[in-house]
Amino acid sequence: MGTIKPAYIKKLSRELMREVDDLSDDFEANKKIVAEYTNIESKGVRNRIAGYITHKNKVKDTI
């Protein structure tokens, strides 16, 4: 079983993935992009969103 992410993490991540083309499977790069394109002040929430995006991009590349 995998980790269950909150709905707001998934929603924000999907919106960013639709709008921003620079997202990749590199967590550090995604973390900077999330900080640039959002006004999220919480480091933990920013990292969770960047991690979810990174995971989705890695899974998408393997298919």
Quick: pLDDT tens for 2-58. Answer: 678 899 999 999 999 999 999 999 999 999 999 999 999 999 999 999 999 999 999
The reported pLDDT for the residue numbered 3 is 74
Asked whether the beta carbons of 34 and 46 are under 8 A apart, the reply is yes
Write down the pLDDT at residue 51: 95
Kindly tell me the number of DSSP H helices and DSSP E strands found in the chain: 3, 0
Please report the pLDDT score of residue 19 as a whole number.
95
pLDDT above 60: residue 1: no
CA torsion sign for 1, 32, 58, 6 is positive
Please report the pLDDT score of residue 39 as a whole number: 95
Could you say which of 2.40.30.10, 1.10.510.10, 3.30.420.40, 1.10.60.20 is the CATH number of the domain covering 7-62?
A: 1.10.60.20
